[in-house]
Amino acid sequence: MAAVARRPVRGEAVAVRAARAVRRIVSGSAAREVAALTRTAEVLQQPVTTGRQIAVTSIRGGAGKTTVTALLGTTYAHYRQDPVLLVEADPALGSLPLRLGAEALRWTTADLADIAVPQMSLLDVTGYLVQLPDNAWLLPGSQGRIGAMVDTVTYERVMVALRRYFGVTVVDCETLPAEVARVALSAAQARVIAAPATLDGVTSTYSVLQWLRALPAHVIEGTVVALSVTTPRPGIDIDAAAERLASAGARVHVLPYDRHLAAGGPLRTELLARPARLAAARLAAEVFELSQKRR
């Protein structure tokens, strides 16, 4: 498929980046931005006593779920010293390996469920994973072709076996209301629901949040909505949409439009526009902080 892809583009055009830089200098916001980023980094670098598991799901396909997973995983890997794991629990032909630029896939979630044993060392475990930059690792859900479904027993066995090896694990779940997604949401220390910044996306996600409110209180309290703007001119009022979703009890973070993310190819963080990169870091920090509150 390499012949299909175009050359990766930067998140913003040169003129937009230049104008933004001038505004930051004139307004004096650069120092405040650096201070805010320093505080965000301090949160992301907090130690953990047991591995944190973060589940990412959505109400339907095309909501930006895999993109959010990739952003979170690469952000944690950039800031943290301990190993970070990204797990694809989307059963057939998930796109997380593509988003992360993985070139070769050998072992899958279902395979590792039958292999992992308590006596294994981190070196043994990583031999079955795909290595990514910055001490991050990927466990794909398939080998690029439709295969066996990932059931709840397989998922739970893998997550229990791998938790002690990684400081943070980010799981790209199947969409709700599928069974594995529900199990992942309940077992994780923090949850992210990816929602596209469209009228139907916001409406559907609001309904999911109402359903989560009927569950034990820690579920909605540990949930963050990642509202992704996928076009330069969205057809809804983003601030009003975020406020509506927040009224259901979840935290809401807006991921601004970014040309590089919208292209859908391998994620290269150096090509992200500054607003998208900062928004991803703030999202990752809040999700991680929420995960620390749940044992």
Summarised one tens digit per residue, pLDDT across range 235-245 is 899 999 999 99
CA distances, 251 to each of 66, 222, 278, 295 (Å)? 19, 8, 17, 20
Q: pTM of this prediction?
A: 0.89
What is residue 222's DSSP assignment?
A: T
pLDDT of residue 6: 56
- 8 A C-beta contact, residue 283 and residue 71: yes
Q: Which long-range contacts (CB under 8 A, 24 or more apart) does 12-15 make?
A: 12/258, 12/259, 12/273, 12/274, 13/259
Q: How confident is the model at residue 260 (pLDDT cuts 50, 70, 90)?
A: very high
Q: How confident is the model at residue 115 (pLDDT cuts 50, 70, 90)?
A: confident
- 8 A C-beta contact, residue 189 and residue 54: yes
In this structure, the number of other CB atoms found within 10 A of the CB of residue 104 comes to 8
> What does the angle CA 207 – CA 213 – CA 158 come to, to the nearest 5 degrees?
95
Share of the chain above pLDDT 90, in %: 54
Residues in the chain: 295
pLDDT of residue 146: 57
